[in-house]
Amino acid sequence: HTQKTQLKTFLTEVWIQNLKTQLIDVLKTSGKGHFNIYVKSKEVYKQSKLQKLLKRVMLMLCDGLRDLCEQSTDQFVEMFYKQSLWEVESKSFNCVVNKHVDNQDCDLTIYRQPLMAIQLTASMQPHHESDKSIIERLNGQYVVGISPITEEPINLDEEKKEDDK
């Protein structure tokens, strides 16, 4: 929550003031002419205030995006770094001590959720109709790039009956 407040304060106060100041400075020193958006000549556009303004805005937006990406990457790396500071000591099967830098005051064991979790389920039955059609094609003919699983045809109906028993 604090980071959101800091970012909001930075964007509304500091960044906008810097943007205004720099744009006014560029426009004062950019030379003669007006902001003619209907210019058709490339040479005239290259010398115009409009081109200088748009280039400055583009560079400032790129700089702001770079800063935000850099901060986000630093925070992402910090998240993984903090998770890697765990020290696990297994004294016995019943006594496992977990220590972390955040928990120096007392020797509590802290359970933290894993960063990622994957659940795998093994099943011998096809999960989709396309699985059945692939097996039927394997039984009946040669499929390019796939060799037959067995020499005998696979009958899914018999396997279902055996599983039910």
* Residue 102 belongs to some domain of the structure: no
Helices first, then strands: H and E counts in the chain: 6, 2
19 with 76, same domain? Answer: yes
Number of folded domains that form the chain: 2
pLDDT 10s digits, 36-89: 778 788 888 888 888 888 888 888 889 888 988 999 999 899 888 877 777 777
Residues 37/42/45/51 CA torsion (nearest 10 deg): 90
* Residue 99 belongs to some domain of the structure: no
Q: pTM of this prediction?
A: 0.41
Contact 6, 32 (CB under 8 A): no
Q: Rounded to a whole number, what is the distance in angstroms from the first to the last CA of the chain?
A: 58
For residue 33, what are its two tokens?
């002419």
Residues near 115 by beta carbon (within 8 Å), at least 6 away in sequence: 79, 80, 83
Rounded to 5 degrees, what angle do the CA atoms 148, 150, 156 make?
A: 95
Looking at the predicted structure, is the pLDDT value of residue 127 above 80? no
What domain range is 26 assigned to? 2-83
